[in-house]
A and B are shown apart, each in its own frame.
Chain A
Amino acid sequence: MPTRPQRLSRETLGDLSDEALVALVADGDRAAYAELVARHLDRTVTIAMRVTGSRAEAEDVAQEAFLRLWRDAGRFRPEVSRFGTWFYRIAMNLCLDRRRRRPAAPLEAAGDTADPAPDPEALIGDARQRTAVAQAVTALPERLRAAVTLTYDAGLSNAEAAAAMEIGVKALESLLVRARKTLRQSLAGWRADGTGQGGVR
């Protein structure tokens, strides 16, 4: 069995792929774990926030997802899937489990989407547009939101997102078409300067 260096420098770890880092984590390497946290924690929170609509729940999901990464790294099979597919499937399942366990909450309780730092005047329109789309995504039905989030926030390919949701690629593409339709209808007539037909419907 090939041996590995006892300690890899931060720079060396930074050069490794996610899949190589998971292999080190499976051997109990905390530095490799910290590198994966640095790479994926914010994105995990973003995805969980988008799906659960709650900051507190998103942080719980992220913590549980990384606990499972630390505990179950030995179960990851790089020959079967990429790290992102495996890890975001864990995070997505945690999100969906939480939503199933709690009663439906009104949209107003979904919490605010991220409010970018004060924008220069010229960027206010773009920022409002992004906020409007983010709100519309939050209002999507659960499976549509999961498909959009895995594809756009997690950056997974259609095949990877389908694997993460444990559905076929055609089914995922169908969800994305329905999501785009719902978003388009929600945002029809929206204007960033507020002079349109009144924002998100």
Chain B
Amino acid sequence: MTLYEFEDLLDTLGPELDRWPTDLRMAAEALLSTDPAARQALDAARMVAATLAELPGERASDALRRAVLDIPLARPRSVATPGLLDRLFGGTAAAWRAWTAGAVAASAAMLMGFYLGYGGLLTLPGLTGNADVATITPEQELVELIAALDVTEIAQ
């Protein structure tokens, strides 16, 4: 393993040699035993890895904290509470929506019934005027017989 290869592996696999594949680790340890530059690279990589996670953090200044906390006051964006008109018309609107929904449903049913009946697409026994003779019910037959009787014959 060359120093260049070792450094590439350091940056890719990290400085914990125990986590490297065995063959790479053994080659790296052989290089480390003979090359001071490899040892220096390993030290630097370990330092970077150990320190990056604990870099000193910054603290916001008090002025910034106040300014950030004041943003909602400077730009109020609360959800508006319903006013008198909203409440009044809010209730009416609900009733109006319910009424119109019912009216629309009833109108649709009427239109559908008219379409089916007028178009002759549906026949109701005893109610449909142009129903076939074959579909005449006994009740209809009786009504027709009574109508056909000669009333004068009955009177005699």
- If A28-B78, A33-B72 touch, whether A184 touches B44 (CB-CB below 8 Å) is yes
Check if A129 is an interface residue, CB within 8 A of chain B: yes
What are the residues of chain B within 8 A of A28 when measuring CB–CB?
Answer: 72, 76-79
B71 and A114 contact, CB distance less than 8 A:
no
Kindly report which residue of chain B lies nearest to residue A65, judged by CB atoms: B68
A-B contact pairs, 23 of them (CB 8 A): A28-B77, A33-B72, A37-B69, A41-B64, A41-B65, A59-B60, A63-B64, A70-B71, A70-B77, A71-B75, A71-B77, A130-B55, A131-B56, A133-B47, A133-B48, A133-B52, A134-B56, A153-B55, A180-B45, A184-B10, A184-B48, A188-B41, A189-B44
- In Å, the complex CA distance between A50 and B58 comes to 9
What are the residues of chain B within 8 A of A71 when measuring CB–CB?
Answer: 75, 77
What are the residues of chain A within 8 A of B29 when measuring CB–CB?
Answer: none
Q: Which of A50, A133, A148 neighbours the largest number of chain B CB atoms within 10 Å of its CB?
A: A133
- In Å, the complex CA distance between A130 and B49 comes to 11
What are the residues of chain B within 8 A of A153 when measuring CB–CB?
Answer: 55, 57
In the complex, chain B residues 1-51 whose Cβ is within 8 Å of any chain A Cβ: 7, 10-12, 40-41, 43-45, 47-49, 51
Kindly report which residue of chain B lies nearest to residue A178, judged by CB atoms: B11
Range class of the A interface residue count: 35 or more
Chain B: interface secondary structure?
helix
What are the residues of chain B within 8 A of A137 when measuring CB–CB?
Answer: 52, 55
Check if B54 is an interface residue, CB within 8 A of chain A: yes
Check if A20 is an interface residue, CB within 8 A of chain B: no
Check if B59 is an interface residue, CB within 8 A of chain A: yes
Check if B67 is an interface residue, CB within 8 A of chain A: yes
Range class of the B interface residue count: 35 or more
Among B40, B58, B75, point to the contact of A189 (Cβ < 8 A). Answer: B40
What are the residues of chain B within 8 A of A188 when measuring CB–CB?
Answer: 40-41, 43-44
A59 and B56 contact, CB distance less than 8 A:
no
Kindly report which residue of chain A lies nearest to residue B77, judged by CB atoms: A28
0/1 string, A45-76, CB within 8 A of B gives 1 = 11001100001001100110011001100000
For the complex with contacts A181-B7, A184-B45, A188-B41, 10 further pairs of A-B residues with Cβ separation under 8 Å are A30-B72, A42-B59, A42-B60, A45-B59, A62-B60, A133-B51, A134-B56, A137-B55, A184-B11, A189-B44
Kindly report which residue of chain B lies nearest to residue A134, judged by CB atoms: B55
B55 and A66 contact, CB distance less than 8 A:
no
A34 and B69 contact, CB distance less than 8 A:
yes
A190 and B60 contact, CB distance less than 8 A:
no
What are the residues of chain A within 8 A of B51 when measuring CB–CB?
Answer: 129-130, 133
Kindly report which residue of chain A lies nearest to residue B10, judged by CB atoms: A184
A-B pairs, 6 with minimum CB distance: A28-B78, A114-B56, A133-B51, A46-B58, A181-B11, A188-B44
